[in-house]
Structure 1
Amino acid sequence: MWPTARCRAGVADGTVGRVIEVNELTKRYGGTTAVNGLTFTVSPGHVTGFLGPNGAGKSTTLRLILGLNKPTTGSATVDGRVFRDRPRGLRHVGALLDAHDVHGGRTAAAHLSALARSNGIARRRVDEVLREVGLAGAARRRIGGFSLGMKQRLGIAAALLGDPPVLLFDEPINGLDPEGVLWVRGLFRQLAAEGRTVFVSSHLMSEMENTADQLIVIGRGELIAAESVAEFAARGTRLSVTVRTPDAAALMAVLTAEGASVEPGGEESLTVTGLSAARIGELASHHRIVLHELATRSSSLEEAFMELTADSVEYLAGEPR
């Protein structure tokens, strides 16, 4: 059974999470601008999702925050300091950027022990985090034989090793089974509840809808939105109306004649766009069509994301043949 609770409740140095501040951040590679004048803040106490189409600059931004790349202009700081200037960095920020970026010949315990020694972290933390992520039984196994899901768990263990107040994760649920996804979801919420700053990059809208409180959304390296999940979803303009009726075919003909777009959703269910719920009710009443349900549905997070980032998508698929 995978663990579901944190093994520790506090942050190593007794403080709560610290703020990540990105200010007019720009990164160019030759003639390509990966990040362009990006400004946002990630605060403690929330799970903040980091969204954007492929090629939007998410991974580059995370690397700039961690000091793995140097900005062309602008700054990225954690608690007011550039992260690369901090000694024993794992005590301040934990990160998972690439689950494959580990030495396959080492065991899980050896990998974490090397990180602990270089960051002045007690050896007992290795055993603690391996238990926490469900890898205690695989501690002496070589990482090269791990599945992607196991490597993700090991990467999360490395991020937690220094008990840091700030945590960054890039696509952390890739390769995890459904039980593992639920565990990660609970872990992130618990870390945020402890007052830590939790910043999670993902391309899975459903996961962000279930996990994140706040969102940072970028496209082509520029900021699109910095707000709550609910606020972002509400920015989508696509409203639809769900209708259930025993006379679905008759109602569909009436609504289509009125210019609505109607999609069948089952024997008695229709999804209608282009007409308000009130107008649908009036038409049904006029034609003596019985309704069992009439409900307006706003845009989902995925629908809002697709709509608001449409101009920022680098690669578009063609029409199906």
Structure 2
Amino acid sequence: MIEATELTKRYGKTTAVDRLSFTVRPGVVTGFLGPNGAGKTTTLRMVLGLNQPTGGTVTVDGQPFGDRPRGLQHLGALLDAHDVHGGRTARAHLTALAVGNGLPRRRVAEVLAEVGMADAAGRRIEGFSLGMKQRLGIAAALLGDPPVLLFDEPLNGLDPEGVRWVRSLFKQLASEGRTVLVSSHLMREMEQTAEELIVVGRGRLIAAESLRDFAGRSTQRRVSVRTPDADVLPRLLADEGAAVRAELDGSYTVTGLPADRIGELAFAHGVRLHELSPHSASLEEAFMELTADSVEYAGAAR
């Protein structure tokens, strides 16, 4: 478990993380989301003891991670896939980590096989693609078989097969009772991977809840409607203040009215409905709406 309490980090007059409190529970994949400049990487570095908080605390299983010897047995992390010695082979890189953390050397071959890089064990890292470096970074995180795992943008550079593999891996790790925290900008992947979310903006907590609850907070709910009485229903809905958009497949997308009200209007006016399907906002839609005031750099519309 990862627990942050009033976690704060200032750089001079700039507050990167502002009294952030959250809990990352074991047994589920937790997504860590926020716009650029939201303080995500700074927060992750404080979890790992690489940056010291200005105020507040953050612990891993009840103890600051920096106080733990042989840290890979307690927490595995991937922060920057490029942060490796390019002149080393994959095997040599992982062997150095294993020796430094009191781990058996056999773990090197085991994790290389687990991430699909057994055949690349003797190759120098400088010749690796970004996707291969990501796999190597994940192998390093798994090396100590830790109960807590932390990944920062682990999907960058991975091909579709690699993305699918990582998604499955994270779910498997969580199902084993581990704590899995994943920071990513890829909303559609988080929608398929994470069960819980921690969302931050300008260093402050915006939400700490299930993905379903977060998406449900969006006002961008829509309803798909299909009717043979196309000359009647759109006018009725517009008179009620709804926005109605005709789709190419003959259906209508309605926003501004809930599905039950649409059904009541149709019944009251004798309008036949062949489809009435409410849709929650996607994670991306909810994220864009609920973090709009926390975006540090926004381009102008053209």
TM class by shorter-chain length? Answer: over 0.9
The one-letter amino acid of 1:215's match is L
Contact 1:152–1:175 (Cα < 8 Å) also in 2: yes
The one-letter amino acid of 1:94's match is G
What is the aligned partner in structure 1 of residue 275 from structure 2?
Answer: 293
Work out the number of aligned pairs and report it: 302
- Which of 224, 232, 243 in structure 1 is aligned with 2:206? 224
Task: Confirm or deny that 1:136 pairs with 2:118.
Answer: yes
Between the aligned partners of 1:43 and 1:284, the Cα distance in structure 2 is 45
Between the aligned partners of 2:129 and 2:252, the Cα distance in structure 1 is 43
Contact 1:246–1:268 (Cα < 8 Å) also in 2: no
Between the aligned partners of 2:105 and 2:70, the Cα distance in structure 1 is 15
- Which of 18, 22, 41 in structure 2 is aligned with 1:36? 18
- Which of 248, 257, 261 in structure 1 is aligned with 2:243? 261
Residue 119 of structure 1: how far off its partner (Å): 0.8
State the SS of the aligned residue for 2:15: strand
TM-score of the two chains, using structure 2 as the length reference: 0.94
State the SS of the aligned residue for 2:91: helix
- Which of 181, 186, 196 in structure 1 is aligned with 2:163? 181
Residue 118 of structure 1: how far off its partner (Å): 0.9
What is the aligned partner in structure 1 of residue 138 from structure 2?
Answer: 156
What is the aligned partner in structure 2 of residue 277 from structure 1?
Answer: 259
Between the aligned partners of 1:95 and 1:38, the Cα distance in structure 2 is 21
The one-letter amino acid of 1:183's match is W
Contact 1:248–1:269 (Cα < 8 Å) also in 2: no
TM-score of the two chains, using structure 1 as the length reference: 0.88
What is the aligned partner in structure 2 of residue 101 from structure 1?
Answer: 83
Residue 255 of structure 1: how far off its partner (Å): 3.6
Between the aligned partners of 1:278 and 1:169, the Cα distance in structure 2 is 42
Residue 35 and residue 247 in structure 1: after superposition, are their counterparts in 2 closer, same or farther (change >3 A)? same
What is the aligned partner in structure 2 of residue 245 from structure 1?
Answer: 227
Between the aligned partners of 1:276 and 1:67, the Cα distance in structure 2 is 48
Residue 264 of structure 1: how far off its partner (Å): 2.8
Residue 285 of structure 1: how far off its partner (Å): 5.9
Between the aligned partners of 1:216 and 1:170, the Cα distance in structure 2 is 14
Between the aligned partners of 1:37 and 1:216, the Cα distance in structure 2 is 14
The one-letter amino acid of 1:101's match is D
Between the aligned partners of 1:205 and 1:48, the Cα distance in structure 2 is 13
Residue 282 and residue 234 in structure 1: after superposition, are their counterparts in 2 closer, same or farther (change >3 A)? closer
Residue 128 of structure 1: how far off its partner (Å): 0.3
Contact 1:171–1:203 (Cα < 8 Å) also in 2: yes
Matches within 5 A, 1:194-233: 194-233=176-215
**Residue-by-residue CA offset, 1:224-275 (whole Å, 9 max, x unaligned):** 1111111211212222110123565764455445532122332312111123
Residue 44 of structure 1: how far off its partner (Å): 1.1
Matches within 5 A, 1:11-30: 19-30=1-12
Contact 1:27–1:35 (Cα < 8 Å) also in 2: yes
Residue 204 of structure 1: how far off its partner (Å): 1.7
Contact 1:107–1:143 (Cα < 8 Å) also in 2: yes
RMSD after superposition: 1.8
* More moved, 100-109 vs 231-240: 231-240
State the SS of the aligned residue for 2:126: helix
Matches within 5 A, 1:116-131: 116-131=98-113
What is the aligned partner in structure 1 of residue 74 from structure 2?
Answer: 92
Unmatched runs of 5 consecutive residues or more in structure 2: none
The one-letter amino acid of 1:269's match is S
What is the aligned partner in structure 2 of residue 317 from structure 1?
Answer: 299
Residue 260 and residue 138 in structure 1: after superposition, are their counterparts in 2 closer, same or farther (change >3 A)? same
Unmatched runs of 5 consecutive residues or more in structure 1: 1-18
Residue 179 and residue 286 in structure 1: after superposition, are their counterparts in 2 closer, same or farther (change >3 A)? same
- Which of 172, 193, 210 in structure 2 is aligned with 1:190? 172
What is the aligned partner in structure 1 of residue 36 from structure 2?
Answer: 54
Residue 147 of structure 1: how far off its partner (Å): 1.1
- Which of 38, 48, 55 in structure 2 is aligned with 1:73? 55
